[in-house]
Amino acid sequence: GQVVWETNTIAPAKPILASLPATTNQQTILIAGTAEAGSTVQIYQNDVLAGTIAAGDQNSFSRSIDLELGNNVIFVKSIDSAGNVSAPSAAQAVIFDTENPVFSSVIVNPDPARAGSTKITFTVSKTLEANPAVTANNKPAVFNSLNDLTYAYTYEVSGNDAQGETAVKIQGKDLAGNS
């Protein structure tokens, strides 16, 4: 009799990992990309196997994993039916952050304020996605500068402002979307 078998000693091509966000406040993230059709894709998170998924007939794969708080380095490998392992995909870092930014050291100068420019400075605990919205008496203050994590705004006090205490409100989102 004759026995026939298949020989396959060639590793699959390096899989491609779809772009991931640099920061997020969502614990579950979708890992997607392309790999050799029919291969088993191994998803690694911080050098630990986090899950597997089969690459479909169209070479695509997707599976959700849960991120750890802080930095998560994600990459994938592909294993064909013969057990040949691909080189790892390019790694991508995702920071999972659920902490809201904290605004502190708020200084209003001059205090008490009279008609004219009043400077409002404050510090934020982390980098924001955009300049925060600052209001005094529900009217917008104007952004002046950012130095490290210290912001400076100007509010123009006018005769139309209510006399007495003025409420300063600061709102902003960090890079993960926390506010």
List pLDDT tens digits, range 116-152.
999 999 999 999 999 999 999 899 999 999 999 999 9
| Mean pLDDT over the full length of the chain | 95
Instruction: Summarize the chain as % helix, strand, coil (round to 5).
Output: 0, 50, 50
| Model confidence, pTM | 0.81
Q: Chunked in runs of 10, what are the mean pLDDT values of the chain (179 residues)? A: 86 96 97 96 98 94 97 98 96 97 96 93 97 95 96 94 91 96
Cα(166)–Cα(161) distance, integer angstroms: 9
Cα(137)–Cα(161) distance, integer angstroms: 7
Cα(41)–Cα(34) distance, integer angstroms: 9
